[in-house]
Amino acid sequence: MITLGLTGSIGMGKSATAAMFGEAGCPVYDADAEVHRLYAAGGAAVGPVEAAFPGVTEGGAVDRERLSARVMDDQAAFQRLNGIVWPLMGSARREFFRRAEEAGADIVVLDIPLLLETGGERNVDAVVVVSAPPDIQRQRVLARESMSEAKLEAILARQMPDVEKRARAHFVVDTSRGFEAARAQVAEILAALRRPDWRERLAGPGEPRQDR
């Protein structure tokens, strides 16, 4: 079973691309959805997060806006938060892989926003980066409710630059050309991964990454 890591900066269209992999028959593990579950009332992360960042919970759940305000400009705090949350996600990931294996899946997708920032590429067989030109990215993000230029800049400062992500990817999905073009790129990636020689080709010394 091939494990494919899917990532991309804010506003690049990663969630839509993850859905396309799902439509193509690949089980998709949504790391952000799992974080939401851990932050919800009764979630395993609520107590530890409140202990580390007093005042960020309300009604027995983590208030994501309050938590974001506490860690946004503090890299040490952000790393401390990751140290709490990532271990708690382990059981859900293990269950995801168990179900995928039982279903006979040949490719699974881990949708992880900070895959490269956290060194998660070491745990996958290939990396797909979802990308778009900077002007399109900004337009998409600033159209969101409660988003501001300052907040966007703070988020981007915490994420690896898109150009670096693209350089470290095995495949790049360009979402600037519309849904159908992105869906075609997803199909091409799956076809490439299913070819017998894919491991050799992707791991070869000096081999250029694929930018589709």
What does the pLDDT look like over 121-159, one tens digit per residue? Answer: 998 999 999 999 999 999 999 999 888 898 888 888 888
> Structurally, how many domains does the chain consist of?
2
The full length of the chain comes to 212
Same domain? 98 vs 115:
no
How far apart, in whole angstroms, are the C-alpha atoms of residue 198 and residue 200?
5
The C-alpha angle 125, 14, 77, rounded to 5 degrees, equals 85
Name 204's Cβ contacts closer than 8 Å, sequence gap at least 6.
Answer: none
Q: Is residue 140 part of a domain?
A: yes
Cβ atoms of 43 and 63 closer than 8 Å: no
Same domain? 177 vs 145:
yes
How far apart, in whole angstroms, are the C-alpha atoms of residue 196 and residue 180?
27
Q: What kind and span of H or E run contains 212? A: none
CATH number of the domain that residue 187 is part of = 3.40.50.300
* pLDDT score recorded for residue 201: 65
Q: Is residue 206 part of a domain?
A: no
> Can you give the residue range of the structural domain that contains 151?
1-27+108-197
How far apart, in whole angstroms, are the C-alpha atoms of residue 144 and residue 102?
39
Q: Is residue 209 part of a domain?
A: no
Spans of the chain, pLDDT less than 50: 204-212
* pLDDT score recorded for residue 145: 85
Q: What is the pLDDT of residues 179-188, one digit of tens each?
A: 999 999 999 9
Same domain? 8 vs 46:
no
Q: Is residue 17 part of a domain?
A: yes
Taking the model in full, what pTM does it have? 0.81
Instruction: Return the structure tokens found at 61.
Output: 């759940």
Which of 77, 104, 131 corresponds to the end of one domain?
104
Cβ atoms of 208 and 202 closer than 8 Å: no
Cβ atoms of 181 and 132 closer than 8 Å: no
Which of 104, 135, 161 corresponds to the end of one domain?
104
Q: Is residue 73 part of a domain?
A: yes
How far apart, in whole angstroms, are the C-alpha atoms of residue 61 and residue 46?
6
Q: Is residue 192 part of a domain?
A: yes
* pLDDT score recorded for residue 106: 94
Which of 104, 120, 141 corresponds to the end of one domain?
104
Same domain? 89 vs 130:
no
Q: Is residue 202 part of a domain?
A: no
Same domain? 191 vs 113:
yes
Same domain? 129 vs 180:
yes
Q: Is residue 32 part of a domain?
A: no
If DSSP codes are grouped into helix, strand and coil, which group holds residue 209?
coil
